[in-house]
Structure 1
Amino acid sequence: MKEERVNSWLELQEALFAGSWNEGLRRFRPSFAFRGVPNARHDLSTSLNRHEGDFAAHEKDLLRAFRKYARGGTQPCASVWDWLALAQHHGLPTRLLDWTFSPYVALHFLTEDPELYDTDGVVWCVDYHQTNRLLPKPLQAQLREEGADVFTAEMLASVARELSVFDRLTKHPFVLFLEPPSLDDRIVNQFALFSVMNGPLLRLDAFLENQKRGVHRLIVPASLKWEVRDKLDQANVTERVLFPGLDGLSRWLRRYYSSRPR
């Protein structure tokens, strides 16, 4: 896995958009999923397998209870993948991990907490064209049939209706990227993606360590975070946009008016 440390805003832009030219389309259309993390030492464990996997043994129970008690809501869920996306969106421990198509949204999450501005951050960049090469044949066939690069819940359900079926597609670990249904404006505005692996205890960072192509980490030094944050604010990539509503507005104002240490 490649790791690069950037030292300026311009270097960061070059690194984020490197390889984005698509000759076939004659457009700048990158095939990367991005995840911004405020602390470069943090891993890619999910909420399900974090803390030594306390929740992993209860994945089925958690999801069953969520489906039972959430049925009174207004969100239609046609498959287990819709339910997983809804559960992840509302904070239930799941095997999903949040990503985005947008490098700037990733930078937002890298810089959203001023209390961590003394710590190096990281943007994970994963080319899903490369990780798709390692998918089981039924999943690859579904992508070809749909002419797609990432999965929807409906596409995934056509191959694996339940998690148990999904986990048995192959003995080898793999990752795919799932574009969630548009549950609300937050999902839409964050250009959201989820990653999912074929086992509740599998760790994405461990899987990506062995990938020589299509995976890199961009280290954003602590000394650059204030500049990145200020330029994102000027570009209107803020909590007010990414978390529509009064909560997002309050988060934005609280951070925007925080003072920089002298």
Structure 2
Amino acid sequence: MAEQADPQWVRSGWGHRVESQDEAYRAVMRIVSLAPHRRYVWRGCTSSRLRVRSGLLRELVVDEADPLPDELLVRQNELAILRAARAWGPGTGPAATDLDLLAHLQQHGLPTRLLDVTDNPMTGLWFACEGGDDVSGVLLALDVTGLPTYPTTDPRQGSGGPAEPPARSLRQALRRSALDARPFLVRPAVPSARMAAQEGLFLSGVVPAFAPQCGVDGLPLRLGTPPGREKLAVLFGERQRRAGRPTRLPLCALVVPPGLKATIRNHLTALNRRRSVLYPDVEGFRDAYRGDHVDLDLDAVRPVVSAHDDVDAGEP
């Protein structure tokens, strides 16, 4: 199987390599303050060499040398997964919309067309530095100003009005995405504890008929000309705002060198960005325990009395 093509964020003109934690934080603030009334979502990845793909698209890629799966193939597999999930009964209820079920499956690690993003850049930065300290990470900022946002539940449910068929919400979102050639956002109406802690939502859209731009596959993004390395360097430099910075930034990739990850990760604890906060559920504790991220303090539970000698336990 061919190796996935490196997005080469910096060389492509869409990215900037940060050299210190101060520069990383400064870059985030310069992005959000570049222009008024812009909205960004963020996605952190521990490896800057991986292309941005949804779980379903990634699963359908058999060989990197072949063309990417098209919308028809993605949709066929998506409907098959939804049908199988409804037959299995994953706990969302028979009235759950397809968007609701997709979000539920995505949160439990199933392959969907949804892409996890967050409203909080510090959360995205933590994910960029979460692990893989031998490879550069990347924090992606995507301008989503004006994109439609769909709730995972039908707002007419419980209001007395007729609810839409479960499949309608996703079909309409995809049709609008195809007509407008733009992605859309999906926000869980009742977020899980993990989604709430991560301030998470989803970015998705129809698989475009045109070739992917930069390192993002399977989303209808028309980004235009990249800002270029020189303009990004001006934007993120230590000096005050000056001429030469980009006027718009539809996408930007902040590449974090391997040697900087642990430093940023440790300092993000001051902003309450740590594993136990971002993964507050049982699955999070399980994965942290299996990944040696939980330090068991045996001294804190001593003295220990064996059940054979525990006469003070009382009669069972």
| Cα deviation, residue 53, structure 1 | 3.9
**Residue-by-residue CA offset, 1:195-252 (whole Å, 9 max, x unaligned):** 1112499968144473444211111111211101111234331121111145434655
CA distance in 2, matches of 1:21, 1:62: 41
Compared with structure 1, are the counterparts of its residues 96 and 246 closer, same or farther at alpha carbon in structure 2 (3 Å cutoff)?
closer
Where do residues 56-135 of structure 1 align in structure 2 (5 Å cutoff)?
56=74, 57-70=76-89, 73=91, 78-113=96-131, 116-129=132-145, 132=147
CA contact (8 A) 1:35 1:123 kept: yes
Name the structure 2 match of 1:43: 51
Paired residue for 2:193, among 185, 188, 191? 185
CA distance in 2, matches of 1:118, 1:209: 33
Paired residue for 2:268, among 225, 232, 250? 232
CA distance in 2, matches of 1:230, 1:256: 15
| Cα deviation, residue 30, structure 1 | 6.2
What fraction of aligned residue pairs are identical, expressed as a percent? 28
Letter of the structure 2 residue corresponding to residue 6 of structure 1: V
| Cα deviation, residue 127, structure 1 | 1.1
Matched, 1:161 2:161: no
Compared with structure 1, are the counterparts of its residues 41 and 108 closer, same or farther at alpha carbon in structure 2 (3 Å cutoff)?
same
| SS of residue matched to 1:18 | helix
| Cα deviation, residue 76, structure 1 | 8.0
CA distance in 1, matches of 2:191, 2:109: 14
CA distance in 2, matches of 1:65, 1:240: 33
Letter of the structure 2 residue corresponding to residue 50 of structure 1: R
| SS of residue matched to 1:93 | coil
Compared with structure 1, are the counterparts of its residues 221 and 76 closer, same or farther at alpha carbon in structure 2 (3 Å cutoff)?
farther
| Cα deviation, residue 184, structure 1 | 1.8
Compared with structure 1, are the counterparts of its residues 100 and 42 closer, same or farther at alpha carbon in structure 2 (3 Å cutoff)?
same
Q: TM-score, normalised by structure 2?
A: 0.63
| Cα deviation, residue 185, structure 1 | 0.9
Paired residue for 1:205, among 216, 223, 230? 216
Letter of the structure 2 residue corresponding to residue 63 of structure 1: L
CA distance in 2, matches of 1:229, 1:245: 21
More helix by share: 1
| Cα deviation, residue 81, structure 1 | 1.0
Paired residue for 1:18, among 30, 36, 39? 30
CA contact (8 A) 2:44 2:139 kept: yes
Query: If you compute each CA radius of gyration, which structure gives the higher value, 1 or 2?
Result: 2
The alignment covers a number of residue pairs equal to 232
CA distance in 2, matches of 1:200, 1:23: 28
| Cα deviation, residue 151, structure 1 | 3.3
| SS of residue matched to 2:273 | coil
| Cα deviation, residue 80, structure 1 | 1.4
**Residue-by-residue CA offset, 1:102-133 (whole Å, 9 max, x unaligned):** 111112212222xx101011111001116x3x
Question: Which 5+ residue runs of structure 1 have no aligned equivalent?
Answer: 133-138, 140-149, 258-262
Compared with structure 1, are the counterparts of its residues 108 and 182 closer, same or farther at alpha carbon in structure 2 (3 Å cutoff)?
farther
CA distance in 2, matches of 1:93, 1:249: 22
Matched, 1:196 2:212: no
Q: TM-score, normalised by structure 1?
A: 0.75
